[in-house]
């Protein structure tokens, strides 16, 4: 357990480093430290209190899925009635629900000037991700009775993963929603850990804001669902609507017990291997990319030895991405992390996956510096011409098609992430997803407004914008069949297949802590602090404390 004293020293250490880096003298340093002591103490108290809440809450939740589900996770009953906040809305009028979700019209360009009055960040997002502007989709008819249901609600709030400049499709959704309903959506940008911390604080204090709860289903869904931190949405997902979506999507919005808590994705991603054909040709004599992970390790090492660039870039700073990529190596073998509801890091498949990932750094051309690279840093290293290959979200197939950097312009290609070994499946899964749910402590009117936003979010029009504007995957196969999508999206057939068949790995309660532990020992093995065998054994020995 982290205590208050540890937090004080950590904060004070950061302050000292910051002052030294700024070039302050010893006298200034002494005065600065003295001046911040009181603030450090106050901040330490606040953080310590927050951490205590999290630890108490996780302890209250108890171990993972092997225990009987809590009251909030009882299996759904047949014909569950609409809750009070949704019962006044006729979801099948003026058109059947399914028709309202699938109706769509494609505009020639995003009406940036008009929509920016609702979301000023739209201009920044367009410049960053859709600089040439182009097609966007509108559609979705509001259901009858929505105005009475939302009452005088003027604003909804949620914690967005990062700044909106990286979420161009999301900003178009929020703009369209406000134009239709008059309800503004306040997206507060936070990092992954901050979202978890603030959501925990919100739920434990039973706060009504934010009304929309962003979560990361692979590591948060079972935790939040079992804790009662998400409004149950079984009524929102009748079977006829489930048929519109692929299995991987449904797995991101529901639990193994059959309860639904989420709707809509602002990141539904698959991964690919991006590479520089000219560099491969120079080093290996062929522009063909590696066909297995062993080849990827060998080729990346040759590149790093024979050129002035890294052979491979990976986002090893983020435990979630390390976890996703390791899971993809398991998926290539027909396996996954979970057995009997628990994270199971044992057996030959796990050993192969762990060893391969460590060897990207230990024997291949991915540098130890990659453990400081985030999910945006690694692609940036590639785009600047400092790495010959990168495993990254297929989002970048759209980004670099529309706006490539000078270093890679006309000299990049992408394919499915190679299998672990010849004859196995590609090493790909749904690598990242961010979903929205509803705060159970919000008012009746706020819940109704949030439900309409979530409904609009899972529509075909928004799926089109996620694919074409932002470069994430669509969750309706028909979007990939549209001629305008085929014209605009790189490697669209490959992406369609991965999006329609890929599955996420939904981890048990404490999934975040488990992946942090795993990433710690990947790092230790990759940097030579311990052997691969010792690292795997340490993961196996220590993981039981979290489940």
Residue 62 has pLDDT above 80, yes or no: no
Residue 73 confidence class, pLDDT cut points 50, 70, 90: low
Residues 463 and 520 in one domain: no
**What pLDDT score does 265 carry?**
74
Query: Are 279 and 290 in contact, with CB atoms under 8 Å apart?
Result: no
Calculate the average pLDDT of the chain: 86
Query: For position 388, what pLDDT does the model report?
Result: 98
Instruction: Check whether residue 165 and residue 303 sit in a common domain.
Output: no
pLDDT at residue 129, rounded to an integer? 86
Q: For residue 275, what is the enclosing H or E element?
A: strand 271-275
Tell me how far the alpha carbon of residue 367 is from its chain's centroid: 24
Region 213-234: mean pLDDT is 91
In a domain, 327, yes or no: yes
Mean predicted confidence (pLDDT) in 469-486:
94
- The answer to whether residue 152 sits within a structural domain is yes
382 and 496 fall within a common domain? no
More confident residue, 63 or 34: 34
pLDDT of residue 39: 47
Query: Residues 217, 253: one domain?
Result: yes
User: Do 425 and 438 belong to one domain?
Assistant: no
Residue 532 has pLDDT above 70, yes or no: yes
Residue 78 is predicted with a pLDDT of 56
Measure Cα distances from 314 to 161, 166, 368, 374 in Å. 20, 19, 10, 8
| Least confident stretch, 178-182, 254-258, 405-409 | 254-258
The residue out of 61, 92, 109 marking a domain boundary is 61
- Of 13, 40, 61, the residue that ends a domain is 61
Pair 328, 392: CB distance under 8 Å: no
- 15 has pLDDT over 80: no
What tokens does 21 get? Answer: 């880096």
Same domain, 104 and 208: yes
Tell me whether residue 25 is in a domain: yes
More confident residue, 146 or 70: 146
Measured in degrees and rounded to the nearest 5, phi and psi for residue 445 equal: -70, -40
User: Please, which pLDDT band fits residue 53 given cuts at 50, 70 and 90?
Assistant: very low
The pLDDT confidence band at residue 79, using thresholds 50, 70 and 90, is low
Residue with more model confidence, 428 or 86: 86
pLDDT digits (tens, 9 = 90+) for 319-332: 999 999 999 999 99
Of the three residues 37, 61, 85, the one that is the final residue of a domain is: 61
Domain of 21 in residue numbering reads as: 4-61
**CA gap 395, 267 in Å, rounded:** 9
- Residue at 182 is within a domain: yes
* Helical ranges in 229-313 per DSSP H: 239-242, 247-253, 277-284, 293-306
Q: Are residues 199 and 163 in the same domain?
A: yes
Q: Are residues 243 and 302 in the same domain?
A: no
User: pLDDT, tens digit, for every residue of 488-506?
Assistant: 998 899 999 988 888 888 8
Query: Is 258 a domain residue?
Result: yes
The pLDDT > 90 percentage for the chain reads: 64
Rounded CA separation 450/211 (Å): 7
With a cut of 70, say whether residue 68 has pLDDT above it: no
Q: Residue 537 and residue 351: Cα distance in Å, rounded?
A: 10
Tokens of 73: 């996770």
Q: Is the pLDDT of residue 340 over 70?
A: yes
pTM, whole model, 2 decimals?
0.82
What's the rounded mean pLDDT across residues 7-28?
39
- Domain assignment present for residue 67? The answer is no
**What b/e readout covers 295-311, taking b as 16+ CB neighbours within 10 angstroms?**
ebbbbbbbbbeeeebbb
140, pLDDT greater than 70: yes
Query: What is the C-alpha separation between 403 and 416, in angstroms, rounded?
Result: 22
Q: Indicate if 173 and 276 belong to the same structural domain.
A: no
Domain membership flag for residue 53: yes
User: Would the pLDDT of 430 be above 80?
Assistant: no
What integer is the mean pLDDT of 52-75? 44
Domains held by the chain: number = 3
Q: What is the CATH number of the domain that holds 538?
A: 3.40.190.10
* Mean predicted confidence (pLDDT) in 144-155: 98
- Residue 372: the pLDDT is 97
Do residue 340 and residue 239 come from a single domain?
A: no
pLDDT for position 11: 43
pLDDT value at residue 74:
66
Query: What distance in Å separates the CA atoms of residue 83 and residue 451, rounded to the nearest whole number?
Result: 11
Percentage of the chain beyond pLDDT 70 is 85
The torsion angles phi and psi of 273, rounded to 5 degrees, stand at -100, 110
Q: Report how far residue 420's alpha carbon sits from residue 428's, in angstroms, rounded to the nearest whole number.
A: 10
Q: How many helical (H) and strand (E) elements, i.e. helices and strands, does the chain have?
A: 25, 12
In angstroms, rounded to a whole number, what is the distance separating the alpha carbons of residues 312 and 388?
A: 6
Asked whether residue 66 is assigned to any structural domain, the reply reads no
- 162, pLDDT greater than 90: no
In this structure, the answer to whether residues 181 and 46 fall within a common structural domain is: no
Place of tokens 């390791």: 326
- Nearest partner of 259 among 274, 237, 240, judged by Cα: 237
* Model confidence band, residue 32 (pLDDT cutoffs 50, 70, 90): very low
- Check whether the bond before 143 is cis (ω within 30° of 0): no
* pLDDT at residue number 43: 47
State how far the Cα of 468 lies from the Cα of 462, in Å rounded to an integer. Answer: 10
State whether 256 and 347 are in the same domain.
no
Q: Average pLDDT of 441-455?
A: 98
Are the C-beta atoms of residues 110 and 465 closer than 8 Å to each other? no
Average pLDDT, integer, range 193-204: 90
DSSP 345-414: --HHHHHHHHHHHHHHHHTSS--GGGGG--TTHHHHHHHTTSBSEEEEETHHHHHHHHS--TTTTT--EE
Is 170 a residue whose pLDDT tops 70? yes
């Amino acid at each position: 357990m982290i205590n208050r004293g540890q937090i004080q020293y950590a904060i004070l250490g950061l302050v000292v480093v910051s002052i030294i880096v700024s070039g302050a003298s010893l006298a200034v340093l002494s005065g600065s430290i003295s001046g911040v002591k009181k603030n450090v103490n106050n901040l330490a108290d606040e953080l310590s209190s927050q951490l205590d809440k999290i630890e108490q809450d996780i302890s209250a939740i108890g171990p993972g899925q092997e225990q009987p589900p809590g009251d909030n996770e009882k299996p759904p009953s047949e014909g569950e009635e609409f809750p009070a906040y949704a019962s006044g809305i006729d979801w099948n009028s003026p058109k059947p629900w399914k028709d309202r979700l699938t109706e769509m019209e494609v505009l020639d360009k995003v009406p940036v000037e008009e929509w920016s009055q609702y979301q000023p960040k739209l201009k920044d997002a367009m410049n960053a991700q859709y600089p040439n502007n182009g097609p966007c989709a509108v559609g979705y008819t509001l259901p009858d009775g929505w105005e009475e249901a939302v009452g005088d609600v003027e604003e909804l709030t949620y914690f967005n993963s990062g700044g909106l400049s990286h979420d161009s499709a999301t900003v178009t959704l929020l703009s369209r929603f406000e134009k239709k309903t008059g309800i503004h959506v306040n997206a507060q940008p936070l990092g992954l850990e901050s979202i978890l911390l603030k959501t925990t604080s919100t739920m434990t204090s039973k706060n009504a804001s934010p009304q929309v709860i962003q979560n990361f289903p692979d590591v948060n869904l079972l935790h939040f669902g079992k804790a009662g931190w998400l409004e149950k949405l079984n009524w929102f997902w009748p079977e006829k609507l489930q048929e519109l979506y692929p299995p991987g999507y449904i797995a991101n919005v529901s639990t193994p017990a059959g309860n639904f808590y989420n709707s809509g994705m602002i990141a539904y991603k698959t991964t690919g291997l991006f590479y520089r054909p000219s560099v491969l040709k120079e080093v290996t004599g062929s522009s063909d990319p590696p066909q297995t992970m062993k080849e990827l390790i060998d080729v990346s090492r040759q590149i790093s030895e024979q050129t002035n660039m890294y052979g491979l870039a990976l986002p090893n700073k983020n435990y979630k991405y390390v976890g996703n990529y390791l899971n993809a190596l398991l998926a290539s073998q027909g396996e996954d992390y979970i057995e009997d509801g628990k994270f199971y890091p044992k057996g030959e498949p796990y050993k192969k996956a762990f060893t391969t990932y460590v060897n990207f750094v230990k024997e291949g051309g991915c540098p130890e510096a990659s453990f400081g690279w985030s999910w945006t840093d690694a692609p940036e290293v590639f785009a600047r011409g400092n790495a010959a290959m990168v495993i990254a979200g297929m989002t970048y197939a759209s980004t670099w098609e529309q706006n490539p950097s000078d270093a890679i312009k006309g000299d990049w290609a992408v394919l499915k992430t190679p299998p672990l070994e010849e004859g196995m499946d590609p090493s790909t899964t749904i690598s990242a997803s961010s979903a929205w749910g509803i705060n159970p402590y919000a008012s009746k009117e706020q819940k109704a407004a949030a439900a309409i936003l979530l409904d609009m979010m899972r529509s075909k029009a928004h799926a089109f914008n996620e694919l074409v504007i932002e470069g994430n995957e669509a969750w309706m196969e028909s979007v990939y069949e549209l001629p305008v999508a085929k014209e605009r999206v790189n490697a669209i057939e490959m992406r369609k297949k991965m999006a329609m068949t890929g599955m996420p790995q939904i981890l048990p309660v404490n999934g975040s802590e488990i992946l942090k532990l795993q990433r710690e020992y990947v790092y230790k093995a990759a940097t030579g602090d311990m052997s691969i065998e010792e690292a795997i054994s340490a993961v196996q020995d220590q993981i039981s404390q979290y489940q």
